[in-house]
Each structure stands twice: as structure tokens, then as C-alpha cells.
Structure 1
Amino acid sequence: MEAQNLSEQCDWFSEENRTEPRVSGQLDSAGCLFLSIMPNGGAIPALICILVLMTIFSFLVNGVALFGIVRSEDLSWEPRCAFLKNLILSDLMQTVSICPAVIHSLVQRRTMEFSTWCYVQYFTGTASIFSSLVTITCMALERYLYVCHAIHYLVILTQARLRHALSLIWVFSISISTVNMVLLHTGQGHKVERATKGLLCEPDVMEQHMGFPRASAVFRKLVGSCSLLLCLLVYAFSYTRMYRDARNAVIPFNRVNTTARKTVLFHSGMLFLQLLPLLIKTTSDAVWEVEGTVAMMALSSGDQGTSGTMMSPSTTAVQLHMSLLVTLIVPPCINPLVYVLKTAELRRALLRPFRQWKRKRVAGLRVMEEMRVREVVHLNRDQAG
């Protein structure tokens, strides 16, 4: 009832302007657009709690994982740990650039304002997502070299080549973000209205606000689809070859390598969760192409000539937008669990500080107990004398 009363303050379909809401009452355009995206006010507190918990969990697990790897001298030289540190850095950038802004929009019940922070969020988010995608692709290749070409592993993956690979990952990711930012300004000019039509400055929202630049949309979709396809092909090739080698190792003994099969299935499932935001974005792009629009706003039903018809986001657009907001936080939460907890060396590195603290605590308790016993012995001797 409260949402219905608030929505009555927004006149979405005026004779003078059939694309922007005409505001009456206490709500401005950002509040009206928020109501069109989140008409059910009861779901907002639950969504805020989910995003806050996922944000805290992401900072916690990534911070602990990075701290354990940096402190471990044995793992500092290993290529997989170098890639993992790069992945953690990308995940932290993604969490910082996305979560606070979305939570702020939900708390204020307003859509994202088009400002300098919107550019920063779009640039940082794009760079971190591409960096994570290329990094997990390199990690799959690194595991393939380690398992299938163990003899030549250190010869192929030297420290110099590792540094070059990490540098190229960031050069590629930042270049993609820079080109996207430049192509965004090739549209017909952004709108005067500062309120965007989303809770996050994602590509669809940015392109709509900047006048639907065709070059930006084509470049983003082409590069994103090719990068996603390349990642899937490399991942499939690497783990298929590793599984075949593990399977061939036990064929003479007429046994099935169950461990290898479970490992491949586990990493395939985790890869699906990591790529879920990109899959949703690809689905969103396909939907916009079918419907003939790349905007978040679309006519939800037929009669455009009636002045009482409301122009609101389509149900599919809202669902994809909200799904993207939540799933963007999933990879930063699961990456440390996948690449740290499944590796015995990394688990020992993370648990080492806690074990050392436990040993020191036990040693301290023993010293205190010995001192107490000595005091009791000296006291008994004094009393006996």
C-alpha cells in the first residue's frame, strides 16, 4: 500500500515528454525510477542484508587468503600463488566498486546518479571483471602445464614470463575499460537528467544514459563474448587433458580415477558460478537484441497512444538487472574457497599463523604453570624451615 501511494506521485507518461517521468509530490525522478525497478518494498531489507553479508564475507575471505599467501615464504615464488594474488586483488576491486554503491542506492531508495563516481565504478568494474576472467584462464593453463608437462614446467613458466603475463593481464583489462569509456562518448549526447535507470552503472545503463552509442555496444558485446568463449575453451582443453592423463595412469590397473573425476566436476561447477555474471550479461544482451532495445526502460504493454499508459521497465529487464547485482558478488566470495581450500599447501599456509599462535599460547600457559609450581614449592620450603 505504501509503495502504491508513492508510485501515485510519479506521472510517467506526460504529453510533453514520453520517455522521462514527470514528478509530483515528494519523489524526484531517481525515487520514481527506483519504485519502477523495486515495486515490492518488502524485499528491499532482505536484499540489503544479503548484499551486506556477501560484502563482509568477500572482504574477510579474500583478506585472510591474501594475508596467508603473502606471509608464506614457501609459496611466494609459485606461479599459481602469483595468479591467485592477482585474482584476489581483482575480486577486492570488484567488491569495492560495486557493493557500497548498490547498498547505498537500496538504503536511499534511489537509483544511481550519473556522476564522476559512475564513471569510476564503470571503469573499475569493467577492468576487474576482465582481469578476473583472464586470470582464471591463465590459472587453468598453469595447472595444465604443471600436470601434463611437469618436466618442462619450470622451463616454460619462468619468473620473467610470469611477471610479463601478470602485466599483460592488467594492460588488457585497463585497455578494454579505456576503449569502452571513449566509445561511450560517441553517442548522441547524454541526457540532462542525472538519475540513471539502474542501481548500478552497468553497461546497459551507461549506454542508455549516453545516447545509445552503437560503437560502444558492439565493441563491448564482441570483446566480452570472445573473452568468455576463449576462457571456456581454454578451461575445457586444460581440464580435459588433465583428466585424460589421470585416467590413463590407472587404466593398466583396471581402475577408475574417481578423485580426478570429482576434481574436474568440482572445478567445472565453480567455474560456472564464477562466470555466472558474464553469462547473465550475455543473456541480457541477447534479450535486448531480440526486443530491439538496449535500454532498461521499455514499454511493458501495447497501447502507446493512451496518455494513461505507464512507461516502466520490462519485467525481464528488471529481473536481469537485479540478478546481475547479486551475482557480481558471487565470484569474489567463492574464488578463495575454490583455489585455497582445495589446495593442501595453501591450507597449511593459511592455518600456520593460527597454529603458531596456539603453540605460543600453550607454551605461555606451561611457563605460567611452571612458575606457579615453583612458587608453591618455595612457599612450602619456607614454611617447613
Structure 2
Amino acid sequence: MENISSSHILIVTALNDWDWTSRILFFSFALPCYLLTIVLNATLIMIIAFEKALHEPMYIFLCNLCINDLCGTTGFYPRALTYLLTERNVILHAECIVQGFVIIVFSIGEFTNLSVMAVDRYIAICRPLHYHRIMSPFTVLSLVTFIWVFPCSVGAMSISLTLKYPLCRHDINRIFCENLSLLNLACKQDFFQGTFNGFVYISMGVFFVFVLFSYFKIILACRKSKVSREKFYSTCIPHLISFLNTTCGLSDSVCTQFKVETLSHVVYTFLSIINLTVPPIVNPVIYGIKLGPIRAKLLYIFRKLRINNL
């Protein structure tokens, strides 16, 4: 087996047709989005971390979701912004591997986070009398461990498969490195790679069905109880919006895996970044608006800042 040298250069071709004006316009839009994503997620993380009243399972899982969003956007934005400013659309193969690992951990981590949050909401609404017994500190720790261990394990396996064969191509038709695109650059792909990719998609499908089933049971429970309906509107609606938002982003990975070539270049580029940019900025907004304790804390901070500035 031939080893792949870390000095290999990969060429990012997605921006080849962009003129300097288009690059500056996109940079002017992307940089504020990145900074806003950092501020929003970091604010929620700090509020949950420093507010003892929020040290509950639901907010602990939300904190992990925000951390995952920060990791994903930081893995994408800096390199993309560099491409836009320098017009030097190249990346070392080793750097590309690291970025691919971060992005796959982020993508799968969104599903593990949202699936665990669905478990928490199901128990809170369908079995409220047993909630604190079931969601013990050990259970919460186990679920948080699963949130991170499963994506990291899949990411490590994906990277090991990517490094298995040398590269025969060096052009990536998108503005970031992603594991499936790297696999398509390899000189050879074996049966195990396809099997593992199938396992990843089946896992995502299982998470999707699991969340839908959980909410089917939650909706049935809400029909019988006014208290359950109030919990649903206040805590489940943000989760459902986040889940559907993340699920829509899977269209890009499916297109990459099956090498869909019927899409226009603009549409394909848009699909390639939507899952990395939209959920991380939408999630903290909808949770900050809908969850009463977080909204109250945010309003308190804004009032305090306003008074100090007077």
C-alpha cells in the first residue's frame, strides 16, 4: 500500500469562476455571519455554564449542541474566508484531512445531540413523574458521552478509509474538504468503504426515525394534558425546528455520495455550505427566543448593559 504524503496539494475549484467583486461581496456577508455565530453560541454556552438554575439535562444537552456548532463553523469559515481574500485556492492534504474530520464530527454530532434531546423531551412529557429518576447524573453523563464518542469514532474510521489509497485527482469542487469528496479523489475504492458509508447513512436514518417516533408519542401525550401541551410549545418546538433544519442539510451529502451531476454549479455550491452555516446560527436564536429561562437571562443582561451605558 502506498503512503500518502502530507505535502500533497489539493486544489479547491469551486471558486475558480468567481471574480474579485463576487469574492469581496461573499466575504462581506460571510465574515459577519461567522462572528454572529460565535457570539450567539458562546453567549448561550456561558449563560448555561454560569447560571446554576440551568444545570439541568435539557440545558446541558443544548450547551453541547452549541459547542458542536462552534466546532463545525470554526472548521469551515476561516479556510473559506482565506480562499475568498487570497485567490489562492489550495490546501495541504493533511490540513484537508483535519477539516474533513471536524466537519464529519460536526454533521453527525448534530444528529446525536438532537436525538438525545428528543429522548430528554420524551421522558419529560410522557413520563414526568419518573423524569428525575431516569435522567440521573449517570444517565446524563452517559448520553453526553454518546453525543461525542459516536461522531468521533465515525470520523476516525472515515479518515482511516480516506488514507487507505493514494490520490489520483487533486481537485475538490467545493470550498471545503469533506470526507466523501476526498474518497472520490482516491485511485481506488473498495467494498468496505461503501459498506461503511452505508452504515453511516443507515445510522442517520435510525436517528431520524427515532426522533419522529419520539415526537409522535409526545404529540399523543399532549392531547391528554394541558401541562404537556405547554411543555411541548415551550421546549419541543425549538428542537423540532433545529432537527428539520439539520435534516434538510443532508441533501448535500447525498448528492456527493451518489455524484449527482444534474444540479447547476451554483445550486451545488449552495447545498454544500447550507448545513455548515444555517443550523449553527439558527439554533441559538430559536432556543434563546423560545426557552423562557434563557430568554429571561438574555433580557436581564441587555437591560444591565443598557443601564451601564447610560
User: What TM bracket, shorter-length normalisation?
Assistant: 0.7 to 0.9
Q: How far did residue 58 of structure 1 move?
A: 0.5
Q: Who is 2:276 aligned against? A: 328
Which of 66, 69, 74 matches 2:48?
69
Q: Secondary structure of the residue that 1:151 maps to in structure 2?
A: helix
Identity of aligned residues (%): 20
Find the aligned partners of 2:80 and 2:200 in 1 and give their Cα distance. 23
- Indicate yes or no: 2:111 matched with 1:139: no
Q: How far did residue 209 of structure 1 move?
A: 2.9
Q: Secondary structure of the residue that 2:289 maps to in structure 1?
A: coil
Which of 238, 247, 250 matches 1:275?
247
Find the aligned partners of 1:180 and 1:105 in 2 and give their Cα distance. 25
Find the aligned partners of 2:193 and 2:286 in 1 and give their Cα distance. 33
Larger-gyration structure (1/2):
1
Alignment of 1:349-368 (within 5 A): 349-356=297-304, 361=308
Question: Which range moves more in the overlay, 259-268 or 110-119?
Answer: 259-268
Find the aligned partners of 1:262 and 1:349 in 2 and give their Cα distance. 16
Q: How far did residue 214 of structure 1 move?
A: 3.6
Would the aligned equivalents of 2:250 and 2:275 in 1 still touch at CA under 8 Å?
no
Which of 201, 214, 217 matches 1:238?
214
- Indicate yes or no: 2:125 matched with 1:177: no
Equivalent residue letter for 1:190: L
Q: Secondary structure of the residue that 2:31 maps to in structure 1?
A: helix
Q: Who is 1:203 aligned against? A: 179
Q: TM-score, normalised by structure 1?
A: 0.68
- The verdict on how the C-alpha distance between 1:348 and 1:115 changes in structure 2, with shifts beyond 3 A counting, is same
Please list every run of 5 or more consecutive structure 2 residues that lacks an aligned counterpart in the other structure: 1-8
Find the aligned partners of 1:52 and 1:160 in 2 and give their Cα distance. 40
Q: How far did residue 39 of structure 1 move?
A: 5.0
- The verdict on how the C-alpha distance between 1:208 and 1:132 changes in structure 2, with shifts beyond 3 A counting, is same
Q: How far did residue 41 of structure 1 move?
A: 5.8
- The verdict on how the C-alpha distance between 1:352 and 1:261 changes in structure 2, with shifts beyond 3 A counting, is closer
Find the aligned partners of 1:40 and 1:216 in 2 and give their Cα distance. 41
Which of 128, 151, 156 matches 2:129?
151
Q: How far did residue 165 of structure 1 move?
A: 1.3
Question: Which range moves more in the overlay, 274-283 or 137-146?
Answer: 274-283
- Indicate yes or no: 2:32 matched with 1:53: yes
- Indicate yes or no: 2:297 matched with 1:341: no
CA RMSD, 1 decimal: 3.1
Q: How far did residue 229 of structure 1 move?
A: 1.3
- Indicate yes or no: 2:95 matched with 1:123: no
Find the aligned partners of 2:279 and 2:89 in 1 and give their Cα distance. 24
Q: How far did residue 220 of structure 1 move?
A: 5.3
Query: Aligned residues, how many?
Result: 300
Equivalent residue letter for 2:65: L
Would the aligned equivalents of 2:41 and 2:70 in 1 still touch at CA under 8 Å?
yes
Q: How far did residue 339 of structure 1 move?
A: 2.5
Equivalent residue letter for 1:157: M
Question: Which range moves more in the overlay, 259-268 or 89-98?
Answer: 259-268
Higher RCO (Cα < 8 Å, 6 or more apart) = 2
Alignment of 1:11-26 (within 5 A): none
Would the aligned equivalents of 1:184 and 1:213 in 2 still touch at CA under 8 Å?
no
Would the aligned equivalents of 1:180 and 1:219 in 2 still touch at CA under 8 Å?
no
Find the aligned partners of 2:42 and 2:10 in 1 and give their Cα distance. 39
Equivalent residue letter for 1:160: F
Q: Who is 1:248 aligned against? A: 224
Would the aligned equivalents of 1:184 and 1:207 in 2 still touch at CA under 8 Å?
yes
Q: Secondary structure of the residue that 1:248 maps to in structure 2?
A: coil
Q: TM-score, normalised by structure 2?
A: 0.83
**Where is the helix percentage greater, Structure 1 or Structure 2?**
2
Q: How far did residue 332 of structure 1 move?
A: 0.7
- The verdict on how the C-alpha distance between 1:211 and 1:136 changes in structure 2, with shifts beyond 3 A counting, is same
Q: How far did residue 74 of structure 1 move?
A: 1.0
Equivalent residue letter for 2:245: L
Q: Who is 1:92 aligned against? A: 70
Q: Secondary structure of the residue that 1:113 maps to in structure 2?
A: strand
Please list every run of 5 or more consecutive structure 1 residues that lacks an aligned counterpart in the other structure: 1-27, 251-256, 292-313, 366-385
Which of 223, 233, 246 matches 2:199?
223
Q: Secondary structure of the residue that 1:186 maps to in structure 2?
A: coil
- The verdict on how the C-alpha distance between 1:48 and 1:80 changes in structure 2, with shifts beyond 3 A counting, is same
Would the aligned equivalents of 1:122 and 1:201 in 2 still touch at CA under 8 Å?
yes
- The verdict on how the C-alpha distance between 1:155 and 1:267 changes in structure 2, with shifts beyond 3 A counting, is closer
Q: How far did residue 341 of structure 1 move?
A: 2.0
